[in-house]
Amino acid sequence: MESETARDTPAKTIRALLSITRMLSESGKIQRTVTRDDIQGAAFKGTTFTEEEKEAAAKIVNFLRPFVRQRGEDNQLPTPHILTVAPVAALANAIATITGFPSLTRKLSPTSSQGFRALPLTAAGVYDVFHKQWDIPMDSENWITNSVQAGRDKQATFGAFFNTNKLESFMSSYGLQFAWRMSFVNRWTVRLLGKPKPGKAFFKSNYEARKKNKLNVTKSAPIMEMPILDHSKMEAMAEIHASEVKGLTNTLRSLRKELSQLELNRMDVGWKVRRSQWDPGSNDYRELKEIRREITVKRLEAIKLEKALAKAKSSLYSINKTLRMKVSSSITTTTPTPTTTPTPTTTPTPTTTPTPTTTPTPTTTPTTSTPRTFKEDNIEFMNLLPTVMSGRQVVFAGTDPGMVVTSTMIPRTLEEIFSDINRFQAISTEDDSVMETMPYLFDVEQLPKANKITASLINNVTFLKKHQRKHQQRQKNNVDRDTQQKKLAKESQQREIRTKRAYGKLAAQERSRIRAAAPAPEVIHCIGHWQGVNSTIKGHSRRGMKKIREQHRDYGHIGITNEYNTSKTCPYCFSRVVLHRARRIIGGKKLVVRLNGAIECVHPRCPARRLKYTTRGRDANAAANIALSGASIVLSSDRQPLPPFRRNANHTRYNLANELSSRDTRMVPRDFIQDE
């Protein structure tokens, strides 16, 4: 009987309930749950409903209100917009799917036929995707009926699906103007294309363009000038240098063995002294001092021999190279001649053969003598000297790229750079015949604390590992493929957003460390040229430097610097460093091992000995030297770094730029800086 009563509800009552349901669903004044009393109160006087009818109508109203457009204070519905009816369309799709009519569902978002690849959309493309499911209005009376019309009226086409005011405001915050184009990646990612507004500047990387062979600029190295000698004399000189190299190598080999044994004895005796009660008059301490004194003398002798060996090797290489060039030129010119030999006047002139005297000079190629101004480039191609001469505080931030540690940055002020250059000039011009064992009397300080960015830090803040665990758990639980693809797309978008924010915040924190060195400085980032392509360490993830450089490029200059010898040179005495030694118990045996992450300056006269700072981190040492190498290129007249960071050992003089030589300022002490 109850079911018959429900079926016998008159059509007049149903129409009344339908009107009341629509009115209450569209009402913007109701901010609470609709009850049965609201249904009865909205009816005309004299109209009555049963309790079941009022309860059913109230439930329908409460269910539909989140999906229906709400009327404003003027009791008018908002402007017709496809997005305002999209919730109702989604509900209709769900009902059609549940009831078994999937063909009646409407497409709510475009899908690319190429899976997760981006789908580029113009106004005509938006029309082609949606015109079968939606009527796209041009205005209150006309409709867009073809793709040509959609392309002409782009604003109306995009305005039917997107809030154009928000789009323009969003693009304006980046200094762009919406170009009425977008790329649809997935349900969570839509990329907008914009044009720069007047006055908007984009800092492009000339370094990246050169890597892609868009700019073919060759760097020229200094050519060692050899005197023009007879072939036999040059061969005799080569034999002399070869015998000299052989003799020095044998002498150094035996001397290094003695030093190695003395170092082991020093470690053993030092361990005894530290473990026993302190007594400066004990036999062990006297033995330790004697071993240290002997090590100092032999170390100075080894350093002198190493310099002589490097010079002899360089001279031998230059002579052998010249001899090879002469041999190759003679082979190309001495060919068998027939009876009709051309006269000497018709023979090729020497200018056509690559002889040493006709070697192309650096002026024939685009050299660093005419640097160009870019925000990012190889530092030898950048004209940053006007920035240094502007009078502002200048800080050179040296960055050593790595694998486990993505970047290690140390800031060096201009005053510290000039102090290092002066110290190098004083040490390099010292008389080697004086066997002084006391450390140099230079006023030096410890390197500032390095700022490090690691790959694991970026992975944690971007939820990379978290999403990996979730994906593995879904595969373990046999989640269907479509659901996994949707989850992966959503997580990928989340990681992309968080990655961009993470790099922005990490770069900002790094710049704040640079500002601590000087108030509001002009920052020149000297970043090492090393790239970890196909370089992996098992168990460690790796991140590149490109995104970090993109962040710093908007606030300073990026100079890609050659890292030659930067991790092998002491920034205080400019001598070669070694890996730090330490004792380890391996397999029950006490062994002496080398630590790859720490370096030690063993020069007896290093100024760092006065600070007890001869052992340092390898990355921090390299970052400080990268800053010094890049700064010395900027401040030089020939665009060459300090001699310790050059590949040619014969060039031992550093030439300061003429602008700095002719101007005596507080920042440029002129005591030891000399020009050739």
Cα gap 468→542, rounded to integer Å: 16
Residues 6+ apart with CB under 8 A from 576: 306, 568, 569, 570
* Residue among 234, 247, 225 nearest 316 (CA): 234
Environment class of residue 620 by beta-carbon count within 10 Å: exposed (0-12), middle (13-18) or buried (19+)?
buried
For the chain, the C-alpha Rg in angstroms (whole number) is: 39
- CA dist 147 and 676 (Å) reads 72
Residues 6+ apart with CB under 8 A from 195: 176, 177, 179
* Ramachandran area for residue 565 (φ above 0: left; ψ -120 to 50: alpha; else beta): left
Distances (CA, A) of 291 to 260, 268, 302: 12, 11, 16
- For 232, 236, 277, 624, the CA distances from 228, given in Å and listed in that order, are 12, 14, 68, 41
pLDDT on residue 643 = 92
Other residues' Cβ atoms within 10 Å of the Cβ of residue 449: 9
Cβ burial, residue 590 (10 Å; 0-12/13-18/19+) = exposed
pLDDT at 418: 92
pLDDT beneath 70, residues of the chain: 1-7, 79-84, 108-117, 201-202, 213-229, 326-374, 432-435, 516-518, 649-651, 661-676
- This prediction's pTM: 0.68
Helix, strand, coil percentages for the chain (3-state, nearest 5): 50, 15, 40
**Phi/psi of residue 573, nearest 5 degrees:** -115, -5
DSSP-derived 3-state class of residue 180: strand
What pLDDT, in 10s, does the model give residues 314-364?
Answer: 888 888 888 887 666 665 555 454 444 444 444 444 333 333 333 333 333
Work out the burial of residue 153: count CB atoms within 10 Å of its CB; fewer than 13 is exposed, 13-18 middle, 19 or more buried.
middle
487 and 466 Cβ atoms separated by less than 8 Å: no
| Residues in Cβ contact with 570 at an 8 Å cutoff, skipping those fewer than 6 apart | 576, 577, 601, 603, 606, 608, 621
- Spatial distance between the Cα atoms of 491 and 472, rounded to a whole number of angstroms: 13
pLDDT at site 566: 95
- pLDDT per residue as tens digits for the range 462-501: 999 999 999 999 999 999 888 888 899 889 889 999 999 9
Q: What was the pLDDT predicted at 213?
A: 66
pLDDT of 49 reads 87
At 526 the pLDDT is: 96
Helix (H) / strand (E) containing 599? strand 589-600
pLDDT of residue 83: 63
Torsion angle in degrees (nearest 10) through CA of 266, 270, 273, 274: 180
SS3 109: coil
**Contact (Cβ atoms closer than 8 angstroms) between residue 559 and residue 396:** no
Alpha-carbon distances, residue 335 vs 48, 326, 344 (angstroms):
120, 15, 14
pLDDT of residue 444: 92
Parse the chain into domains and list their residue ranges. Answer: 2-78, 109-202, 231-332+347-360, 363-661
- Nearest by Cα to 378 from 641, 624, 648: 641
Supply the pLDDT for residue 328. Answer: 65
Give the model's pLDDT for residue 117: 63
Q: Say what the pLDDT of residue 343 is.
A: 44
463 exposed, middle or buried (CB, 10 Å; 0-12, 13-18, 19+)? middle
162-209 residue pLDDT tens: 888 898 898 888 888 899 998 887 777 788 888 888 877 667 777 777
Rounded distance between C-alpha atoms, residue 643 and residue 489, angstroms: 52
Q: For residue 211, what pLDDT is reported?
A: 72
CB 641 within 8 A of CB 620: no
